[in-house]
Amino acid sequence: MTSESQNGTDALQDHTLQGSALNVALTVNDIDRSLRWYTDVLGFTIDQRHEREGTMVAVSLKAGTVRMLLGRDDGKKGWDRVKGQGMSIQITTPQNIDELAQRIKNAGATLATEPETAPWGARLFRLKDPDGFLLVISSER
- pLDDT per residue over 36-62, tens digit each? 999 999 999 999 999 999 999 999 999
- Is pTM, for the whole model, over 0.75? yes
The string over 76-98, giving b where at least 16 C-beta atoms fall within 10 Å of a residue's C-beta and e elsewhere, is eeeeeeeebeeeebebbeeeebe
Domains and their CATH numbers in the chain: 21-75+83-139 (3.10.180.10)
Q: What is the mean pLDDT of the chain?
A: 89
4 pLDDT band, cuts 50/70/90, is very low
Q: How far apart are the first and last CA of the chain?
A: 37
Question: Quick one: pLDDT at residue 1?
Answer: 47
